[in-house]
Amino acid sequence: MNVIEAIQQRQSIRAYQTRPVAPETIYRLLEAARHAPSGVNSQPWQVAVVSGQSKLRLQQRLEAALRHGEPSRMEYPYYPASWQEPYKARRLACGLALYGALGIERDDKARQLEQRAANFRAFDAPVMLLFFIDPILSTGSYLDYGMFLQSLMVAAVEAGLATCPQASLADYPQIVKEELGYDDGLILVCGMALGYAEEKAEVNRYRTAREPVESFARFFE
Q: Where are the domains of the chain?
A: 3-76+120-204
pLDDT at 1 over 90: no
Question: How much is the average pLDDT of 43-55?
Answer: 98
Distance CA(127)–CA(129), nearest Å, equals 6
CA distance 55 to 41: 31
C-alpha 209/C-alpha 93 separation (Å) is 9
Rounded Cα gap, residues 208 and 10, in angstroms:
12
* Residue-wise pLDDT tens digits, 158-208: 999 999 999 999 999 999 999 999 999 999 999 999 999 999 999 998 899
Backbone angles phi, psi at 88, to 5 degrees: -60, -45
CA gap 190, 150 in Å, rounded: 13
Q: Which CATH number fits domain 3-76+120-204: 3.40.109.10, 2.40.30.10, 3.40.50.920, 1.10.1840.10?
A: 3.40.109.10
The pLDDT of residue 107: 87
135 CB-side CA count, 13 A = 8
- The helix/strand/coil state of 93 is helix
Confidence class for position 220, pLDDT limits 50, 70, 90: very high
Is residue 49 helix, strand or coil? strand
pTM of the predicted model as reported, rounded to 2 decimal places: 0.95
